[in-house]
Amino acid sequence: MSGHFREENSDEISGRHLDLQLFKRFLLAVHPYRRTAWLSLGMLPILALAKLVQPWLVKEAIDRAIIPGRLELLGLFALLFFVALALEGLLMYWQGYQVQLVGQKIMADMRGAAFAKLPRLPASYFEKNPSGRLVTRITSDVENVGELFGSGIISALGDIVTLTLIIGVMLWMNLQLALVTFIVLPPLFIAGTLFRRNLRAASRQVRAHLAGLNAFVAERIAGIAEVRLFGQERRTLGEFERLQDDYCQGAIKVINADAALYAVVETLGSIALAAILWYGGGEALRGTTSFGTLVAFIDYAQKFFTPLRDLSAKYSVVQTSNASLERIFELLDQPEEVSGTQSVPRSGTLELENVSFSYNDDNTPVLQAIDLRLAPGETIALVGDSGSGKTTVTRLIMGFHLPQSGTIRFGGIALGAVDLNSWRQRIGWVGQEPFLFSGSVRENLDPAGRHNDDELAVLLQRCGAAAIVERLGGLDAILSERGRNLSSGERQLLCLVRALAGDPQLLILDEATSRLDPESEGVVRRGLQEASAGRAVLLVAHRLATARHADRIVVLRRGRIREAGSHRELLAAGGLYARLWRLQQVEGETETPPPPSL
């Protein structure tokens, strides 16, 4: 399985180099908060001036108060220095708060947009992207993008403003000392250019490996019982360690590049300070430069290289955020599920005409030339061996996939032309794996809030689930995640109630009673017979005892319809259905293992 996750990550690692385009799109996310953002930007020069006035005050205090011995001026300069420090602290607090506030709002907007996008994506997208990978995009990737505004762009702009003002002040104070200081800038620029490439590639790899690691963990948590039952703990741990090692190696590359860049800046800064001491000290001894100017230059040089060191760290933040932006925008740019606009007819006949479908790009057929007609009040059962295409038929009817050829119509209107959301609201569906959300029983059974307690009680009684809800503590009782405080059969019964609560025109039951004991199945069957009056019912069944009461039984094999008719007609024909019926009867009498596929 680890190879599966590695292969998926390769698409992530080969991401696009669209810095400018990504930044422009990011600015659109900042636009709703532009006033606060502009105000924060406007405070940058004032904050920079509050920082830069401090070395100048030290220079003036040395040259005009300490050296001449004018102690009456020293108190004034000390007071001004304290005011500058206090102003710097207050501005840093205010601006930092505003910037982080905007960053948090951007994160909330992006997280909401990404999460809102998921229900609009086609089913094929979720089949290709594991849940852990999508969780990474909505959580940690969004967090990284939030840092892009506060710890990235605004902070970097502040550093650039500070650097610009420092350069101007140093050139104004002493041109020769300024040129000595700036002699290290060319090698610094070259180092930054070289490290930039490594940081970008390494940051993208880290995000990709983290997504793969999250996907693996999510899969193993979901299948933790199977891991323990089949003794896969050691193998799972080994695969986890390999994935974690890939992530750690990628993170080490980022740390190495970042630390190396920081070290280069620090070293060049120390060289610049040594040059200032060497040249400026000589100038001070010769009397061409004041001692206060030399002290101020040393302070300005430190303040000059501090933003440069910070910019190297911020560049790592920007690269990480850039990789996350690529991934988030890739999700937001996914084509949404194609849906029509026509209204769904109040009633009608469901028709599948010459429908063929394939899941894979190589067009390996799953369904071939399927013709099916389901009228209101009619019950059709789909039977056949595993992999014959029964569940695929239901997914096509629900609009989760489009057939490669053929047409699906309801009331004479093609499903491709109707609003799929409205269409699905007309369908009651119970799948092979009953799924319940964490929350109250009432919220699960009646998500739209259509029924009062008495009406829900009738539905529960009809489906034989009243005792389950009573045991839980009533409709307001809380179900755990995926309904894990219920047995599989109990979850299936509640899913049946939920399917009927929407008063559907079409009821699709995909092995909907497979987890029930015979007594419960009998109760549910009688309830369904009552509830299906006037409704079209499509029943997918492996157990033919469930299908025998259908008006018509359709036998699928290898994606084609092989037989169709009532239970009696198919038994009399002596074909595939009759053979499967006999095998299941023998199995029920002798408790032999299940028969092989037809």
Q: Which two tokens stand for residue 93?
A: 């607090």
CA contacts within 13 A on the Cβ side of 454: 0
> Which residue, 144, 138, 143, 125, is CA-closest to 214?
138
> Which are the contacts of 77, defined by CB distance < 8 A and separation ≥ 6?
57, 60, 61, 64, 65
* Side-chain half-sphere CA neighbours of 326 within 13 A: 22
Alpha carbon distance 407, 413 (integer Å): 10
3-state SS, 254-319, equals: HHHHHHHHHHHHHHHHHHHHHHHHHHHHHHHHHCCCCHHHHHHHHHHHHHHHHHHHHHHHHHHHHH
- Look at residues 417, 376, 375, 420 and name the one whose alpha carbon lies nearest to residue 395: 420
Determine the 3-state secondary structure of 552 from DSSP. Answer: strand
For domain 18-332, is the CATH number 1.20.1560.10? yes
Nearest to 17 by CA among 210, 207, 202, 200: 200
Q: Domain locations in the chain?
A: 18-332, 376-399+420-590
Cα–Cα distance, 429 to 507 (Å, whole number): 6
Query: Is the torsion defined by CA of 381, 384, 387, 388 positive or negative?
Result: negative
- Which of these, 495, 398, 509, lies nearest to 123 by C-alpha position? 398
Do 402 and 462 touch, CB atoms closer than 8 A?
A: no
- Angstrom distance (rounded) from CA 593 to CA 558: 23
Q: What is the pLDDT of residue 461?
A: 86
User: Which pLDDT value is given to residue 554?
Assistant: 94
Those residues of the chain that have pLDDT short of 70 are: 1-19, 196-200, 225, 229, 309, 312-313, 315-316, 361-362, 512-516, 519-533, 586-598
Find tokens 């028969």 and name the residue.
Answer: 595
Whether the Cβ atoms of residue 32 and residue 25 lie closer than 8 Å to each other: no
Do 120 and 336 contact (CB within 8 A), yes or no? Answer: yes
Residues in the chain: 598
| Amino acid 463: pLDDT | 81
376-399+420-590 CATH fold: Rossmann fold (3.40.50)
- Per-residue pLDDT of 414-467, as tens digits, reads 998 999 888 988 898 888 778 888 888 998 898 888 889 999 998 888 888 888
Cα 55–Cα 267–Cα 158 angle in degrees, nearest 5: 50
pLDDT tens digits along 299-326 = 888 888 777 767 766 766 777 777 788 8
| pLDDT for the residue 531 | 64
